[in-house]
Amino acid sequence: MQPLLIAVRDGYLNVYAEGQSVLRIGFDARRSGDVRLRGRIHRKYVQGKEAGDGYFAFDGQHIMSGDGTKITDYRGQETLRNWVEAARDWSGDEKKGVAVIALNHPEVIDVEMALPANAAISPTDKRAANRMDIVALERSAAGAPSLAFYEAKLFTNGELRARNFKPRVLQQLDRYRTYVSAPDRRAQVLAAYQEACALHVEFARMQEATTSPLVAEVAAGALLEMDAEPRLIIFGNRPEQVAAGASWHQHAKALEGVHVILEAAAGDVRLKASPKPS
């Protein structure tokens, strides 16, 4: 079974399998002082493709409908495996690739970083994607821990190409750059990921595992910096497609100035190298 990725959100966790957000987990504080697990899972992961839309509740022991009717029991690893298999059926190659990249890099601290849907960042394009695929830590040239943002696309994704050689992916990267560069948001993002690193260290401790030294460094209070210039990962191409594709070379010119990582397979992707501290 592919390892699960835990993404820290504002007051809850998203659990990802095969690039799909399978489970949302939060907690309810009761008047009695008790804290109860409050989870949510889409019906399709529990009942299959014919289940329709909507979500079930999950309390750590049972999966229930909205009125509290028990749908099924949670049986630990057996249930998790079933959910992951269901996620594999629903996940496309692009999301699966993002999952592979994230799992290959312990410095990845988030996937699908959500930007506000109200989008002062993109008032005219309602189709605009407002989720950054990968957030990772690296070292800056000065040796300090720094946030880095990545967008990942399949080589065949139409957003990489345009007849006027102004592909939509450039607009997408510009939205991300504009959002994280705003002074107030920059401070919020840095503070949120400082806290997220501390939680990732705690998750690792609970599993009796270790985490990335960079993550541990930030969790311990090291000053966190940010590179607001998003990078672009392109994967899923065959080398002969790039070599023989005259049109691709024209489209690639439109990406000049963007830090592009181009690999045949997601498993071959290596995120930007981190300079060693002097």
In angstroms, the CA 33 to CA 203 distance is 24
Residue 274 has phi, psi (to 5 degrees) of: -100, 120
**pLDDT of res. 2:** 64
Residue 137 · residue 145 · CB < 8 Å: yes
The pLDDT of 170-191, averaged and rounded, is 94
Residue 123 pLDDT greater than 80, yes or no: no
Q: Give the pLDDT band of residue 34 (cuts 50, 70, 90).
A: confident
The pLDDT of 129-147, averaged and rounded, is 92
The pLDDT of 12-27, averaged and rounded, is 92
Q: Which residue has the higher pLDDT, 30 or 17?
A: 17
Which residues fall within 8 angstroms of residue 236, CB to CB, at 6 or more apart?
93, 94, 97, 154, 155, 156, 264, 265, 266
Domain boundaries, the chain: 5-90, 93-268
**pLDDT per residue over 186-225, tens digit each?**
999 999 999 999 999 999 999 899 899 999 999 999 999 9
Count of residues making up the chain: 278
Q: Which residue has the higher pLDDT, 157 or 28?
A: 157
Which residues fall within 8 angstroms of residue 170, CB to CB, at 6 or more apart?
254, 255, 258
